[in-house]
Chains A and B, each alone.
Chain A
């Protein structure tokens, strides 16, 4: 059983709002490159992405209070952001440049 959860309202909320948005943008951005048809796929992909981003953003923000502390929220979500953005920029500037 893990230890007590600290409230850390501002630490967790800021992580959820900022890093949640980063994760939303990078993960949905990966869909733009790796989804069917790739980045040059014609049609309404860019339009759909806005709804998907809102979904991921809300989910991360909503569940970020489950982290044990504000610090661990920033560390874990920060790491997830780094990986996702690294993958996104690898796609944008390397694989599909």
Chain B
């Protein structure tokens, strides 16, 4: 049995790590849950384009040849041939070129796509794709703080999150057998919230342990790399890394011309040689050369791991397997273990079931940090009350405002910036810049609003804002459908309709929370952070009557 003084000690550890990291973790988990559907969101936000289907796979050889001739840089850098026909793939082939840049500045890239006109001529255009989905991932990784400071910050937060997990389990262990999965719904509202916090925390524990470890490693990746190199490897790490990267390097062009094998034939060759591989796209390099190659990215059935690192390389001339050690079943044990850690973080295994499970686990994590802050505030109030109603102390009021402003500001900001993808397309110059601008204005505005109005009132305002902003996602699609003159789009694919349906349900949840919070504002105990009534020592404190749901 764990001694009482140890439990008491770890209660303090859990409280302080939780309070200091809760905000950042809420944002990381909420945005992280959305990144589980990064691709559907990207498809929803991508404007209509010529599309992959405009050029049948059988006509791809001609398209590739024309692009390679007209764009020598693409021929060298690699031309991407899309296979799936998703809305975020603007045409059958795309590629990137270096932006003209000044010395000392980092390299930028511009994006091109190409298709065949009905008369068989090449049509190539430079067009920047929507980066909305990547921006949500940015918020997930660095909570909106610019790189690299956001990564350092989240590395420390993730480390403390791990400490908070250990502390939380130590606190819970003595009563675990007795209380486990016991949700005491009743008049003692704080007890119920604590039970719920414990149940959600302990049932999600494996997920949280994985997230704490992998998030610490991924956020501090570059720093750990440098320290390892100087302390452990002494320069050898870079050599190993180069050797590792060999597997991704295409063969050098020979200068000798050769006929290319058609992509459809290459895919057949691939299927024969690697039956369990599911190709996503193909990248051709040095087309027309005898040493031309194609890297096929994809996943392998039955393996956990990153789709982008795994792949095979074929000769684009003969279809022979050139390099085959980066796909999951051929990776060395250390790489496989490392990729498994990454796959466990990103939920890249077992298909849709795990994607949805991670989506809900992400939300449950966000809720854990929110409810943790709330429990701390309510405990403080209880300690201070001693029989009579009390004024909320300054620190609990500020923490309450910050919790409401940061959490709901993040939710509303993300929803509105998603909506902007359709409304602002074609109306502003740099839409990707506008996505950032909108998010930060809404986020910071919400935080300011929460401090100006206090946690209780602002929670209702901001929850209605979240509901309205999220409802605007399906309404925008509906408007696009009803009023084509607006110049927006609505797709019929299950993935993009799914975005609208999930947003619709989410908006209803936010509206329900707004109503519940409004009710508690007026009927709950006056000394609660959730009340707008002045605390009055004459009124005996009661337990709140309604559930404060954000």
Real binding pair: yes
**Residues of chain B with a CB closer than 8 A to A74's CB:** none
A54 touching B213, Cβ below 8 Å:
yes
Interface size class of B (residues with CB under 8 A): 35 or more
Given A43-B331, A61-B159, A62-B163; A48-B228 close (CB under 8 Å): no
Name the distance in Å between B304's Cβ and chain A's nearest Cβ: 13
The segment from B6-14, B272-280, B435-443 that touches chain A is B6-14
B240 touching A42, Cβ below 8 Å:
yes
B5 touching A53, Cβ below 8 Å:
no
Bound-complex Cα distance A5 to B237 (A): 43
Bound-complex Cα distance A57 to B214 (A): 12
Name the distance in Å between B212's Cβ and chain A's nearest Cβ: 6
Does A76 make an interface contact (CB < 8 A)?
Answer: no
Does A15 make an interface contact (CB < 8 A)?
Answer: no
**Residues of chain A with a CB closer than 8 A to B256's CB:** none
The contact string, 1 if C-beta is below 8 Å from chain B, for chain A 16-50, is: 11000000010011001001100111111111111
- Choice from B217, B225, B236, B331 contacting A44 with Cβ under 8 Å: B331
Name the distance in Å between B208's Cβ and chain A's nearest Cβ: 11
Most buried by A among B12, B212, B220, B334: B334
Residue on B nearest A24 in the bound complex, by CB? B224
**Residues of chain B with a CB closer than 8 A to A43's CB:** 240, 244, 331-335
Does A58 make an interface contact (CB < 8 A)?
Answer: yes
Residue on A nearest B156 in the bound complex, by CB? A17
Bound-complex Cα distance A9 to B15 (A): 13
**Residues of chain B with a CB closer than 8 A to A46's CB:** 225, 228, 233, 237, 240-241
- Choice from B9, B13, B232, B334 contacting A47 with Cβ under 8 Å: B334
**Residues of chain B with a CB closer than 8 A to A41's CB:** 332, 334
**Residues of chain B with a CB closer than 8 A to A51's CB:** 213-214, 217, 337-338, 341
Does B141 make an interface contact (CB < 8 A)?
Answer: no
**Residues of chain A with a CB closer than 8 A to B163's CB:** 16, 58, 61-62
- Choice from B12, B159, B212, B227 contacting A25 with Cβ under 8 Å: B227
The contact string, 1 if C-beta is below 8 Å from chain A, for chain B 314-352, is: 000000000000000001111111110100000000000
The contact string, 1 if C-beta is below 8 Å from chain A, for chain B 460-489, is: 000000000000000000000000000000
Bound-complex Cα distance A3 to B217 (A): 37
The contact string, 1 if C-beta is below 8 Å from chain A, for chain B 229-253, is: 0011110110011011000000000
- Choice from A36, A44, A62, A65 contacting B165 with Cβ under 8 Å: A62
Residue on B nearest A7 in the bound complex, by CB? B9
A39 touching B236, Cβ below 8 Å:
yes
Does B496 make an interface contact (CB < 8 A)?
Answer: no
B214 touching A54, Cβ below 8 Å:
yes
A57 touching B228, Cβ below 8 Å:
no
Does A63 make an interface contact (CB < 8 A)?
Answer: yes
The contact string, 1 if C-beta is below 8 Å from chain A, for chain B 107-128, is: 0000000000000000000000
**Residues of chain B with a CB closer than 8 A to A4's CB:** 5
Does A92 make an interface contact (CB < 8 A)?
Answer: yes
The contact string, 1 if C-beta is below 8 Å from chain B, for chain A 58-96, is: 110111011000000000000000000000100010000
**Residues of chain B with a CB closer than 8 A to A50's CB:** 217, 220-221, 224-225, 228, 338
- Choice from A49, A58, A59, A66 contacting B228 with Cβ under 8 Å: A49
A40 touching B331, Cβ below 8 Å:
no
Does B455 make an interface contact (CB < 8 A)?
Answer: no
Bound-complex Cα distance A92 to B229 (A): 12
**Residues of chain A with a CB closer than 8 A to B10's CB:** 65
B12 touching A7, Cβ below 8 Å:
yes
**Residues of chain B with a CB closer than 8 A to A59's CB:** 166
Interface residues of B in 116-165 (CB under 8 A from A): 158-159, 162-163, 165
Name the distance in Å between A6's Cβ and chain B's nearest Cβ: 9
A39 touching B233, Cβ below 8 Å:
yes
Does B216 make an interface contact (CB < 8 A)?
Answer: yes
Bound-complex Cα distance A58 to B334 (A): 21
Interface residues of B in 157-178 (CB under 8 A from A): 158-159, 162-163, 165-167
B214 touching A47, Cβ below 8 Å:
no
Given A44-B244, A46-B228, A50-B224; A92-B237 close (CB under 8 Å): no
Given A5-B9, A25-B231, A61-B159; A45-B213 close (CB under 8 Å): no
- Which B residues have a C-beta under 8 Å from some C-beta of A? 5-6, 9-10, 12-13, 158-159, 162-163, 165-167, 212-214, 216-217, 220-221, 224-225, 227-228, 231-234, 236-237, 240-241, 243-244, 331-339, 341
Q: List 29 A-B contacts (CB under 8 A).
A: A5-B5, A17-B159, A25-B228, A25-B232, A32-B228, A40-B236, A41-B334, A43-B240, A43-B335, A44-B244, A44-B335, A44-B338, A46-B225, A46-B240, A47-B335, A48-B334, A48-B337, A49-B232, A51-B337, A54-B162, A54-B216, A54-B220, A58-B159, A58-B162, A62-B162, A62-B163, A62-B166, A62-B167, A65-B167
Going nearest first, the 10 A-B pairs with the smallest beta carbon separation are A44-B335, A62-B166, A43-B332, A58-B162, A29-B232, A54-B216, A48-B338, A54-B217, A45-B334, A47-B338
